[in-house]
Structures are given as structure tokens and as C-alpha cells.
Amino acid sequence: MRVVDFGQYIAAPGAGQNLADLGADVIKVEPPGGDQARGIGPFGQAMVRANNRGKRSLAVDLRDPAGHAVVRDLVASADVVLHNFRHGVSERLRLDADTLRARHPRLVYGFVTGFGTRGPSAYRVGLDIAAQAEFAVMDLTGEADGDPQRVGFTVADVLAAQALTSGVLAALLQRATTGRGDVVETSLMEAVVHAQAATWAEYELAGAAPRRRGNGQALAAPAADLVRTRDGGTLVVSAYTQEKFAALCEAIGRPGLASDPRFATNPDRVAHRPALLDALHDTLGRLDRATAQERLRAAGIVCGAVRRFDEIVDDADLLASGIVADCPDGRGGRTAPTTPFSLGGRRPTRTPPAPRTGEHTARVLAELGRSEDEIRALIDSGAVRAAPRDPAAHDLTEEPA
């Protein structure tokens, strides 16, 4: 399965990364200067590293006729094309779905925009933070009396990458039946709205817009509520059914709380949440985080320690799952998360790092039938760029996909 990935930053490259982890030959087509993310310091380098593992890089000038001819030949060899060009750019580059699929009807063509291609914002630049802001994610994140806050990672980009991956896989399954490809379209807007389906339903049922409230669920208690422990740790606790709340009261040595009129039912507990949290703090706050968590787990109470990133990278459950694969890149990287699921218990145990810009240009051109003289002429003309192979890179031919 060959995927031609014109994406930059996260949304389309993230989908290409998912397909690469599943064994596809993903060729990252980037301008001679590289994916724009490569030029914005550690923030951008992290994007490149996280979303381009195991891909091959072809650096080509799409505005150069010779470079464009290379890309047309590459697309002719592809099963899937991905991009996150701003709406209208693919048409100007003659890489739009209608043009390519007229020549290659089996092609699956997938793309991401910021706000879709049919509404008044079709031509707007779309970035993760704009989608978070304009489609309620920020409004619902943060303390009730504080400023709206973005989610702590690029959630709109990541959700869009997952949506695009799902659509491409569905189109490939359809092609296996019909013999024809299709066009898969999504946007940052659609991805974040889809992820808030329950919030949408809450709005329709309640007849009022859900409001930012920080921790704690609006209609259940204790639910996603924070409790501080003696050693400065924090636990998040949920036990809002009658059975679980009674078990929680037993676990903390306060069985009488279950019959307290203020806490007798879930609506009562929601109405008296501050008093309820005071009672939980009074008991759990005398314990260290590990002891409090152990006691609650033993009682079957849903709880979690609020941990920093440096506390999760060596987590025993995480490592046992197999999601963390070796990814030595010679530039500070050692490991990387791969597919969030296994197939028959299998996942990649070793994953190649992201390529350098143009690292595989010569090899890809040779696969397209270009002679050594033709490749040299393309490089010398500036139509393509070829970089030396990264000596730290894992050879894709060493192991079967």
C-alpha cells in the first residue's frame, strides 16, 4: 500500500503516520525547504518527529514543471493521497481530487481543512487553536470563574488525523468491493464537534449551553472531582452511583456520609458539592497519594493520580501494553508511541524515525524509473532536493512491515 502524503504540521501527517504504523509505504512529499514545522524550533521538530516516523521523504518543488512531473508519476503509483492544503491550493497545484481521480479512479484521496469546503469559512486558514476556540472546546475548559483555556495538546489536529485515518480505511474497504476509490474529507471543525457528541446532546436535553466549570461533572458528584493528599499529590475521584458512593464512604471510614441528607442522592450531592469535597478532603487529605489511591482502588472506586509527564513515560501498564516502541534517531529520541490498538496482540516493537528533508529523494526517483543521469539533472536544476541518508535512521528494508 503506497501513500503519498503532502501534509504539513499535524492533521494530515498524523493520518499518514497511522497508515505507516500499519505497514504502508508512506512517502512524505515536502518542498525543498522542508515541512514548515521543521523551521519553528523544538515545537515544530516535535511535530515532525511524532507524525512522520518511518516515512520516506521526497523533497520537490511543485511549482517547477519537472518537479510536478515527478509528483504526477508518484501519484500514479499510489493507493492513497493525503493533504491539508488550504482550500483552493490543491486546485492551483493541479493536485485536486477531480484532476487526480479522473486519471486514477482507484485512488483514495483524503484531505483536512480548517472549517470545511462548503461554508463561508471555506478559505480561512485553519489551525488547531482556532477550532478549539470557535467550536466550544476552550469555552468548556478551565475554571468556572477563570479564562477559557485550550486543551493541553493539539486536540483538534489529533482528532482530525484520527477522523481522516478512519475515512481512508473505510474508503479502502469500499474499494476492495467496488474497485473504485473515493474522496475522504474532514476538518478540524468537524473533528472537535464530533468528539463533543455527548455535550451536544446535553445542550439539547437541558435547553441551555453547557458552561465551563473546571473539575467535576455538572450533573454528578463526586465525579471527576479533585482531592489533595498529605504529600501534595492530587487524586481525581468518581463515585456517583448510590452503590459506589456507599463504598467510597466505607473506604474512607465515614459510612455515615451515605445517609447524610445532604448526600443521600446524586442530585443532593451535586447541590452540596463543596460540603461533600470538604468531607473527602478531611479524610483523604490525611493520607499520602499512594496510600489513598490504594485504599480507593481496593474498594472498587474509580480514581486516578494526577501525574506529570515524567511520571508516565516508565509506567508499567503503559510499557506492558506495547504501545511504546523503540525509535532511536540519534537526535535525542529513544522511543515513540505507535498504534493505539494491537492486531492479534501485535504492534511494531521498533519504528524508524522521521526522515530528513529529501532523504529518500534519489531512491524514490529511481523507483519511478528515473535514470541516474535524470536524477542528477533534477537535483542540479533545483526541481528536487536530495539529502544524505540519516546515519541514525533505521533501514526500512531490515524488517518486514
Question: Which one, of 324, 328, 327, lies nearest residue 338 by Cα?
Answer: 324
How deeply is 191 buried, as exposed, middle or buried, from its count of CB atoms within 10 A (0-12, 13-18, 19+)?
buried
The three grid cell numbers given for residue 73, joined into one nine-digit string:
508519476
- Mark out the alpha helices in 138-288 (DSSP H runs): 155-178, 188-195, 197-206, 242-251, 266-271, 273-284
How many whole angstroms separate alpha carbon 111 and alpha carbon 84? 5
Angle at 290 between CA 284 and CA 295, to 5 degrees: 60
What secondary structure does DSSP assign to 18-86, as a single string?
Answer: HHHHTT-EEEEEE-TT--GGGGSHHHHHHHHHHH-TT-EEEEE-TTSHHHHHHHHHHHHT-SEEEE-PP
How many whole angstroms separate alpha carbon 262 and alpha carbon 181? 60
Torsional class of 395: left (φ above 0), alpha (ψ -120 to 50), beta (otherwise): beta
How many whole angstroms separate alpha carbon 178 and alpha carbon 108? 12
* SS3 state at 350: strand
- Phi then psi for residue 166, to 5 deg, are -60, -45
Instruction: List Cβ<8 Å contacts ≥24 apart for 172-181.
Output: 172/1, 172/79, 172/80, 172/108, 175/106, 175/108, 179/106, 180/105, 180/106, 181/101, 181/104, 181/105, 181/106, 181/107, 181/108, 181/109
Count CB-CB contacts under 10 A for residue 267.
Answer: 11
Asked if 39 and 32 count as a contact pair (C-beta separation under 8 A), the reply is no
**Catalytic residues, which ones?**
157
Asked if 28 and 355 count as a contact pair (C-beta separation under 8 A), the reply is yes
How many whole angstroms separate alpha carbon 299 and alpha carbon 62? 62
How many whole angstroms separate alpha carbon 292 and alpha carbon 284? 6
